[in-house]
Amino acid sequence: MSENVSHATADRAESLLTVHNVTKYFPGGGGTFGRHGRPIRAVDGVSFDLAQGETLGLVGESGSGKSTLGRVISKLVEPTAGEISFNGRDIAGLKPREMKQYRREIQMIFQDPFSSLNPRHTIGTIVGAPFRIQKVKPKLGIKAEVQSMMERVGLNPEHYNRYPHEFSGGQRQRIGIARALALRPKLIVCDEPVSALDVSVQAQVINLLEDLQTEFGVAFMFIAHDLSVVRHIADRVAVMYLGKLMEVTDRDTLYSEPLHPYTHALMSAVPVPDPHKEQRRERILLTGDLPSPSNPPSGCVFHTRCPKYRLELTDDQKTLCRTEAPVLEEKVPGHEVYCHFPAPRSGLTAVLKTGAAA
């Protein structure tokens, strides 16, 4: 078993999806005609699993590799290495023709409800496309099935012949949801499906996804940068940074007792609805910019921005962080962390309150 494989993954024998040490490198620039640069490590040795009907939230900064991982899982982008096991079969190396049958089981909802729909096609054509591509003939016909699904996601079935530009952003995302659910898949990768929508519409779409999950038993991999949205919908949460998973555990544990310094920083940026508490709470600010994925730091990829590294660790501990990469492993049952010195936030908060300098 690879050192990157989490122990919790091995314990969840009935997983719908198991991702084992998956990497995705893109060609880098530089050199003559940009051909000989270092590869861009968008996803770098990621392992996790997902159970039937479960929602796994995937969070992190822009550039962390979340969307690339979602596209790799959906096989819209081929992985560079690793295994993707779906229903017990490794699909990482399947050719497009061999993947056709799995397209019925794995679908995707995209971030932009404007560009993800063909403006030249009617809604009936868009939502009905999966039936025609997969040569599936519903008992009552494609039109009746499409109108039924439109109604289920909150759209007027009579708008079957309208075009995408005649709908609002929230309605267009509902069209995307209807298309993804048309063939009753077992897994839907949701790539920031509400980030382009107004806050009031976000709540409606999130509630719709939860209702549909209960009705159809579909599993979600929910990619987002908004931690408050993920907290509402996810069963478990994985935190991603520079192509690697930093922390994976159930939602309640992550939000109440995070152990990774990066998770601490993300949590500290989430607004608190109480204005008095909002003014008093401590913020953890990360120094510097996100390193280049073509030249990640040695050792722990987070150590160059880690407040714990700057404020708490001894010189020997810092040397370990700079020279040796941690392993994503269980520190407590069901709680995996990629860190040499994981700890609750309380210790770091005490240091911050003293005004200690880097």
Q: What is the pLDDT of residues 4-23, one digit of tens each?
A: 434 344 344 478 999 999 99
Structure confidence at residue 276 (pLDDT): 65
Q: How many CA atoms lie within 13 A of 284 on its CB side?
A: 24
Q: Span 202-219, mean pLDDT?
A: 94
Q: Which residue shows structure tokens 């508490």?
A: 277
Average pLDDT, the chain: 86
From 114-118, 226-230, 253-257, 270-274, the region with the lowest mean pLDDT: 270-274
Q: Where are the beta strands (DSSP E) in the chain?
A: 15-28, 37-51, 55-59, 81-86, 89-90, 106-109, 187-191, 219-223, 236-241, 244-250, 328-332, 335-338
pLDDT above 90 covers what percent of the chain?
Answer: 65
Alpha carbons 86 and 84: distance in angstroms, whole number: 6
CB atoms within 10 A of CB 151: 13
Q: Which amino acid is at 25?
A: Y
Where does 57-156 have alpha helices with state H? 66-73, 96-99, 123-133, 142-152
Q: What are phi and psi of 274, to 5 degrees?
A: -85, 115
Residue 1 has pLDDT above 60, yes or no: no
What is the pLDDT confidence band of residue 287, given thresholds at 50, 70 and 90?
A: confident
Structure confidence at residue 147 (pLDDT): 96
Q: What is the pLDDT of residues 99-145, one digit of tens each?
A: 888 889 999 999 888 888 999 999 999 999 999 999 999 988 999 99
Alpha carbons 83 and 102: distance in angstroms, whole number: 15
Residue 278 has pLDDT above 70, yes or no: no
From 76-85, 125-134, 261-270, 271-280, the region with the lowest mean pLDDT: 271-280
Alpha carbons 117 and 111: distance in angstroms, whole number: 11
Residue 273 has pLDDT above 80, yes or no: no
Q: Which residue has the higher pLDDT, 2 or 41?
A: 41
pTM of the model: 0.87
Q: Span 217-239, mean pLDDT?
A: 93
Residue 150 has pLDDT above 80, yes or no: yes
Residue 33 has pLDDT above 60, yes or no: no
| 8 Å CB contact between 23 and 82 | yes
Structure confidence at residue 280 (pLDDT): 64
